[in-house]
Amino acid sequence: MQDSRGAGSTRLVVEGGHALAGSVEVDGNKNAALPLLAACLLTDQPCRLNNVPRIRDVGVMVELLQGLGAEVEGIGTSTLDVRCRRVTTAEPDPGLVGRLRGSVLLFGPLLARVGHARLAPPGGDFPARRTIGVHLQALRAMGAREIAGDAHELDAGDGLRAASVYLEEASVTGTETAILAAAVAPGTTEIRHAACEPHVTELCEFLRSMGVDIEGVGTHSLRITGGRRLGGASRRLGGDYIEAGSWAVLAAVTGGAIEIRGACEADLEPITSVLARMRVRCAVDGDRLTVDASRPRAIRQITTAPWPGFPSDMVSLVSVLATQAQGSTLVHDWMYELRLFALEQLSGMGANLFLCDPHRMIVNGPGRLKGRDLDTRDLRSGMALIAAALAADGTSRVGPLATVERGYANLVQRLAALGAQVAVEPDDGPPRAHAGELSGGSRSR
């Protein structure tokens, strides 16, 4: 990930040792918002999205759409109205593309509307280790031609065509790119080995409401009949189950008790099943997840897997939970190399962990963590380090804060509302007052 420090960069100051308590409501699913915004480019008719998370990644995608000619109303709110009467360029702003991996989702809509697309290398977390090979594979199968050069440039001047595609990897965004392209390719496209995460399902359902015929939604095999003129549509995004799981871990590591509202019970099950195995006292009733004060215990192994397995986006957070659990846990993220390396910083806090290789880590607990300066190298490990800071003795400084704010809206205010003792300061200066200004309160664990 590119270093996000610079003018205006801030970090979070955390006084550890305070149990979280209260209630919090999650926003719409970040990983659904980005492909649905991209889908709005497939039509010249108005589209509306409700329950959109007010996070940095969504803001970047909105700026990208505006740069392509879209009119967007409601910026800064949870309801966005998008209309793209015409696409004014085939090249999204390279600077914005470099800040958002989800910008790759613009390939299909651009090829559909103008027959050409030129994207700078997408940024976001782990840009050097997460390729767009699956995206290009699907688009080539549907008739797009690659143009050599420094950027990713594709041409489909004669239009996209239906195809039978077996994806070389069940990539979520790769599947979404294939779906977006198939929605406008005349004929029936078959996509096999497709990802089937809840946000992929949300994209399919949104496209259905625009007039696309899609069979097999929620499975690894999709049949998409495209080529019709698409109309406008509206959709309320489902609650972000990764965000809900994140708040649950924050409560568990601080010995707190909170209520988390807004995420679907079925979406939460891969996460809550692991938390329950770790003796975290949690229960789900509809869209309400409650976590009570617990004494976590280690489990032999936690392994990530595609849906409906344990999500890789939760592996950093559950690793911090393992530092507070009795016994040894092997954490295995086979999906992404080096994601766990950002957690080496926990060793400096006193955690007992051993990195076996780029995919596996052994965590022994419980360990008493000590506050220190921490570097948010990517979105999810950044939130995990905030969890560690909340559980630690003393004060930690976690930054850049913007890395975590890419995926968690109003993070500081919501932490403070749950009783966390937090403040925001410039990376090179003393703390300034904030909603959760630090106090000298006693430890509440």
* Domain presence at residue 442: no
> Based on the domain organization, do 141 and 187 belong to the same domain?
yes
> Based on the domain organization, do 147 and 162 belong to the same domain?
yes
Residue 223 sits in which domain range? 30-236
Give CA separation, 7 vs 34, 211, 419, in Å: 27, 46, 30
* Domain presence at residue 445: no
For the chain, the distance separating the N- and C-terminal CA atoms, rounded to the nearest angstrom, is: 35
DSSP class of 364: E
* Domain presence at residue 444: no
> Based on the domain organization, do 214 and 243 belong to the same domain?
no
> Based on the domain organization, do 219 and 271 belong to the same domain?
no
Q: Give the residue carrying structure tokens 């999204």.
A: 92
**Burial of 148 per CB tally in 10 Å (0-12, 13-18, 19+):** exposed
| Domain end call among 197, 221, 236 | 236
> Based on the domain organization, do 317 and 388 belong to the same domain?
yes
Cβ 267 vs Cβ 58: under 8 Å: no
| Domain end call among 236, 254, 272 | 236
* Domain presence at residue 194: yes
- Domains of the chain: total: 2
* Domain presence at residue 70: yes
> Based on the domain organization, do 257 and 154 belong to the same domain?
no
**Distance separating alpha carbons of residues 236 and 202, to the nearest angstrom:** 10
Q: Is 125 a catalytic residue?
A: yes
Give CA separation, 249 vs 28, 74, 131, 133, 188, in Å: 19, 32, 30, 33, 43
> Based on the domain organization, do 222 and 299 belong to the same domain?
no
> Based on the domain organization, do 203 and 159 belong to the same domain?
yes
- The CATH number covering residue 348 comes to 3.65.10.10
* Domain presence at residue 319: yes
Per-residue model confidence as pLDDT tens for the chain (445 residues): 333 444 479 999 999 999 999 999 999 999 999 999 999 999 999 999 999 999 999 999 999 999 999 999 999 999 999 999 999 999 999 999 999 999 999 999 999 999 999 999 987 554 344 589 999 999 999 999 999 888 899 999 999 999 999 999 999 999 999 999 999 999 999 999 999 999 999 999 999 999 999 999 999 999 999 999 999 999 999 999 999 999 999 999 999 999 999 999 999 999 999 999 999 999 999 999 999 999 999 999 999 999 999 999 999 999 999 999 999 999 999 888 778 888 999 999 999 999 999 999 999 999 999 999 999 989 999 999 999 999 999 999 999 999 999 999 999 999 999 999 999 999 875 544 443 445 443 333 4
Q: Give the residue carrying structure tokens 């904030």.
A: 434
* Domain presence at residue 315: yes
> Based on the domain organization, do 245 and 336 belong to the same domain?
yes
Q: Which of 57, 125, 267, 333 is catalytic?
A: 125
| Residue type present at position 112 | A
Predicted TM-score (pTM) above 0.85: yes
